[in-house]
Amino acid sequence: MTSLHRPRARRRGLAAAAALIGLVGSLLTAGSAAAIPDPGDEPLAPKKLSSSERSQARSAIERGDVPGVDEIDKSDNIDHVAHLDKRGLQGTSSDIAFQGRYAFAGNYDGFVVYDIGNPRNPKIVSEVLCPGSQNDVSVSGDLLFLSTDSSRSDESCNSTTQPATEKDSWEGMKVFDISDKRNPEYVAAVETACGSHTHTLVPERRNVYLYVSSYSPSATFPDCQPPHDGISIVKVPRSAPERSEVIDFPVLFPDGGNPGSTGKSATTGCHDITAYPKLRLAAGACMGDGILLDISDPEEPEVIDQVRDSENFAFWHSATFSKDGGKVVFTDELGGGGAATCNEEIGPNQGANGIYDLKRRGKHSELVFRSYYKIPRHQADTENCVAHNGSLVPVAGGRDIMVQAWYQGGVSVWDFTDSRRPKEIGYFERGPLSDTDLVGGGSWSAYYYNGYVYSNDMVKGLDVLKIDDRRTDSARWVRLPELNTQTQPDYR
């Protein structure tokens, strides 16, 4: 039996948190926090389809082109070894971080700590009730970091939704002590401009730096004023996390960034940043722009290249480096994660990954576009589907293989060793949640960690997959003590 609780607050100034509130699922009353009304990772309300769209969805299922409602389909080299339903936290599931035998899974209602010591039989250790979308999560040592990007009444885990137009509303970073996995303790809160949609760790021995990505300012928001053309940097002293603070807001787009156009996002901040500390580089996905950063000094990141795709990219969402740092995969979140974009009508180049070679000559670095990758399986018009969060599979040699979430498009395992000719080598997916309405769901994050793939399904909970393929067999022997995919390890 696990317990669902609000954590005890340690830092002076945090509003008082509630005590233990009972058994899993029995006393949960807080609803999901509302996400900001902009493209990017919103919970999706069911959308009624036209009679012709419904007919097309049913016909695709009947022909076998799309799995039936809730039916599992997978390639022969993927084993579905475990599934664990949601328990107490019923909000939208989001990102995942890993440490030792534990996985920490974000949820719009808080976060869940899983024991994955036996990946074929994962167990819930604790569930922390702390509403505030997206609750993007990462870990470092005894600290867990949680992003809040919805306007709240205060910084506590008892907060309620409150308009961003009110000056005393709060959004930003929360810090927890996870030395006791059964009883995480809330120790610090740091308010950041426009909240924290996502964050990226740049860890050092004494401090952890958080690059906080947020976007979509408004003149009506006192704490999120335009222009919002940079990121917040939060410094967290490991020995005294209660002293966490914003130390800078570097401007990444002094020219204002991409002004946007019909169907293409303007740049008003960043959505996600992936750091590769060993190479002292980071790649940023910033709405209308993709950028490369020099992070030799983590307190002063510097943009060293900038790219745009005015033809096919609608919303630059996230980034992943290849194993040697010679390529960068950017994702396009067409439709904000709430639309059916993996169909014949949209085609193979929109809502896809863009693969760039990174050319480095001395101090000069340049991102050069090579190709797009999108899952080769069309989805029904009732399924939200688009490129989303993934990670490298740490194979030996010179190959680059990635596992990636595609919402209701499932989980794709694909090879981009040849940046001009990427190809899928395995997949796992469920059929649509509905054959009559567009209902949001599917895999938000799918990451490879110590021999298994862990997928956080927005609606259904945790799935554990195993790849059985000679091309990925060598990755089984790679063991990491900790993994935050936005802080990319050196697998070389």
pLDDT at 52 over 80: no
- pLDDT exceeds cutoff 70 at 27: no
**What integer pLDDT is reported at residue 267 of this predicted model?**
98
Residue type at 438? L
Q: Average pLDDT of 431-450?
A: 95
3-state secondary structure of 99: strand
Angstrom distance (rounded) from CA 116 to CA 98: 9
Give the C-alpha separation, 266 to 133, whole Å: 22
The mean pLDDT of the chain is 90
**Residue 472 Ramachandran class (φ > 0 left, ψ -120 to 50 alpha, else beta):** alpha
Q: What is the pLDDT of residue 469?
A: 98
Mean local confidence (pLDDT), 20-46: 35
Max CA-CA distance within the chain? 61
Q: 19 falls in which pLDDT band (50, 70, 90)?
A: very low
Average pLDDT over residues 35-46: 43
Predicted confidence at residue 362, as pLDDT, reads 81
Cα separation of the two ends of the chain: 41
* CA 112 – CA 103 distance, rounded (Å): 8
Summarize pLDDT for 251-273 with one digit per residue, the tens.
999 999 999 999 999 999 999 99
Cβ–Cβ under 8 Å, residues 144 and 199: no
| Average pLDDT value for residue range 148-169 | 96
Q: Could you tell me the CA-to-CA distances from 16 to 76, 177, 214, 439 in Å, in that order?
A: 52, 17, 27, 37
For residues 491 and 479, is the Cβ–Cβ distance under 8 A?
Answer: no
Mean pLDDT of 204-219: 97
CA distance linking residue 372 with residue 356, whole number of Å? 9
Question: Which one, of 425, 429, 430, lies nearest residue 473 by Cα?
Answer: 425
Tell me which residue of 193, 29, 15 sits closest to 109, measured CA to CA. 29
pLDDT attached to residue 45: 61
Tell how far CA 483 is from the center of its chain.
Answer: 13
**Which residues, 6 or more positions from 125, have their beta carbon under 8 angstroms from its beta carbon?**
2, 102, 113, 114, 115, 181, 182
Tell me how far apart the alpha carbons of residues 463 and 93 are, in angstroms, rounded to a whole number: 12
Of residues 138, 141, 119, the one with CA closest to residue 449: 119
| pLDDT score recorded for residue 181 | 98
pLDDT class for 41, splitting at 50, 70, 90? very low
